Structure 1
Amino acid sequence: MAITSRRYYPCRSVERLDAWIANPEAEQNPRLESTIEYLATRNTDYNAALDELDMVRYENRKLRAWVAHGVEPAEEEPVEDPADAPRRKKARYNDPEARTYIRLHED
């Protein structure tokens, strides 16, 4: 049950920007295909929005540091922000080719 319940989640290989969702044709459920297409579109939009938020957070940190210290931080110099969530491993999605696709056949 656990494997089949997550079958249609977007999956991403290591070092890849694009994601894949299993093809729902074998399920014999006409609503599932449109739901999966909607999920693929929303996942692509979600990843793009996350990237935009990362850029806004970075600019916000630069402005806070500039106001607090009167100097702009260097590009490599991270500014601590206690409101941020802990760092997690993730890809950068600022590539316009980073999309979520429906896998049409099993490899």
Structure 2
Amino acid sequence: MNTGLEAIISATLERLFGLHEAPIDLQETRKEFDGDVTLVVFPYVKASRMSPEATAQAIGLSLQEACAEVQGFNVVKGFLNLTLSEATLQSTMDAICADAHWGITPVD
């Protein structure tokens, strides 16, 4: 699901901080916070030369401006919680429904 979003984040990190092939750690956002996926920004703090919060804010603003997939974001310390657009969520569900073998693991 996140391959396209990971590519956009990678391009954003390269543009903002000059990071090439930086690791992208996307996780499901914890239930007590708003958002669909969370980006851990601690690995980018040294390159950004900003606090974790400022780094997350810069990435979030750039993503929200640059791509339609990100509807909104919020920052909790060094974590960037991204809210995905309804269109992004719908296209993901459409892809899952179109794959007759989604979720099926072959038996050896």
Shorter-chain TM range is: under 0.3
TM-score by length of structure 1 reads 0.27
Q: Relative contact order: is structure 1 or structure 2 higher (C-alpha 8 Å, sep ≥ 6)?
A: 1
Higher-Rg structure is 1
- Normalising by the residue count of structure 2, what TM-score does the alignment of the two structures yield? 0.27
